[in-house]
Structure 1
Amino acid sequence: MGELHICSFLVTVANQGISLGLVQQFLGMPNPPKWVFAACRDPKGQRAQNLAFSHSNLVIISLEVSNPATIKVAAARIEDHLGCSGLNVLINNVGIAKPNSLDNEMLENMTQIYTTNMVGPLLLRQAFLPLLKKAAQGSPGSVLSCSKAAIINMSSSAGFTEEVYLWDYGQVFSSRCSKAALNMLTKCQSLGYQEHSVLCVALHPGWVQTDMGAQSALWPLVTVDTSMRGMLKVLSSLSEKETRTFLD
């Protein structure tokens, strides 16, 4: 396993759960990034603000992934902070789920979940691709890595098509379909962005002790801290052979 050496990092939904845990892990690194951007709907949330108060390299960004206008404003603000450098890592962790069956699923429900879980990540990466390309161009060598430029999509094994994970315990139909679409989006992005030296990976963080994860727990959950420490190990070891893959 290598060591992460990144100058800038952005994660969405950073005021709670997995994203907040990731922010804390990055800030606690021996050599933390120069810039940690934490995007969330409510930038005045207490937990995020407490971290920002004690870490001058943490910037809280207002962002709603289903609103293209807020994405554009967020990208411009982050570019102002980065100056001539680019964005090394974009971690998209937005996700919602609404339990429902095949027979009862509704257009409004499917539209909301697809917009949040798949279309939002697509719009985000369109907006931040110029900054990711700039980071890749400014990094020496041709080997893909998170230290160069990377898009990390937080997915779920619930989106597997070969083996439908825990179907008997909860269909969560719309969420499963949206995560399967997100996995395909990751593969498409890896093919489309490989010429720009941007690594693209989908990650499943485990069944984690968050507000969402605890709602339907069937067995003891992984703590946020354990999951995020494991994720940092994965991020530090990613290379060209992992791009366009789904990792658990």
Structure 2
Amino acid sequence: MWSSMAGVCARSALVTGANRGIGLGFVQHLLALPNPPEVVFAACRDPKGQRAQELQKLASKHRSLVIVPLEVTDPASIKAAAASVGEHLKGSGLNLLINNAALLKVNTLDTETLKDMSEVYTTNTVGPLLLSQALLPLLKKAAQGSPGSGLSCSKAAIVNISSTGGSISSLTGWDVIELVSYRCSKAALNMLTRCQSMGYREHGILCVALHPGWVQTDMGSAGGHTAPLTVDASVAGMLKVLSSLSKKDTGTFLDWEGNVVAW
């Protein structure tokens, strides 16, 4: 029997942007759980490239880790990834989708451009929408295959990695860094999470937006400032939060410690 201490006990999980930063952290932590998933899909743009070396090393040690090429801005790539994941699962569903892949451009209100705004929005907001659509049949299958009528991350869940940067009411850190396109994309991702929670509740799929904290990653130090939180601490915190979620939490915006973040 799984104890609540063991955290999330999904049979299968998929993480996007899995070659570095928080995505890689999720993959490492999922594989190290007392009851790890039977399969962890690590999706990234260029699995054979220089920036995926850590992931390749992990895959050589863990047979349960499957690296999936995925460009979240390309519908054909999403379709191919979903088909490949479906084949690997051999008829069982996907329990946990972590939409983590994201893009950040250090632009101000004055320097923001159509090109950057579009790229950031396509990666950070449209990507999670399209990937969730493509994987919906597998998420539904996982929900149907789990006993009970409640919602949980062990049953079927979409986790959108958001940011307090997307909080409209608090506008955290504006005086430090404006990040207009990033903020807009994350505010939109939060609305997508709400929409998904409404649309997928009937299918037994929990949807949540998570703020990972200000984390020491390439993205976290984009503005030249040092982030206070390690990837390890952030991911361990988020997995603990995910393990505690139930029906009442679907459609919420929480941080890595489980606190509610203002929209």
What is the TM-score when the length of structure 2 is the normalising length?
A: 0.92
Q: Report the number of matched residues.
A: 248
TM-superposed deviation, 1:106:
1.4
- 1:52 corresponds to: 59
- 1:67 corresponds to: 74
- 2:33 corresponds to: 29
TM-superposed deviation, 1:215:
2.6
Structural mapping, 1:1-248, within 5 Å: 2=4, 3-44=7-48, 45-216=52-223, 218=225, 220-248=227-255
Residue identity over aligned pairs, in percent, reads 62
Q: Could you say if the C-alpha distance between residues 99 and 220 of structure 1 is closer, same or farther in structure 2, counting changes exceeding 3 Å? A: closer
Instruction: Report the secondary structure of 2:150's partner residue.
Output: coil
Q: Could you say if the C-alpha distance between residues 76 and 29 of structure 1 is closer, same or farther in structure 2, counting changes exceeding 3 Å? A: same
Can you give the 5+ residue segments of structure 1 that lack an aligned partner in the other structure?
Answer: none
Distance of 1:167 and 1:89 partners within structure 2: 33
Distance of 1:126 and 1:6 partners within structure 2: 20
Instruction: Report the secondary structure of 1:37's partner residue.
Output: strand
TM-superposed deviation, 1:155:
0.2
Quick check: 2:75–2:130 contact (8 Å CA) kept in 1? yes
Residue identity in the other structure for 2:38: K
RMSD: 1.2
Distance of 1:217 and 1:138 partners within structure 2: 47
TM-superposed deviation, 1:4:
2.1
TM-superposed deviation, 1:104:
2.8
Quick check: 2:93–2:141 contact (8 Å CA) kept in 1? yes
Q: Could you say if the C-alpha distance between residues 219 and 77 of structure 1 is closer, same or farther in structure 2, counting changes exceeding 3 Å? A: closer
What is the TM-score when the length of structure 1 is the normalising length?
A: 0.97
TM-superposed deviation, 1:98:
1.1
User: C-alpha offsets along residues 59-116 of structure 1, whole Å, 9 cap, x if unaligned?
Assistant: 0000000001111111001100111210000000011111222233211111111101
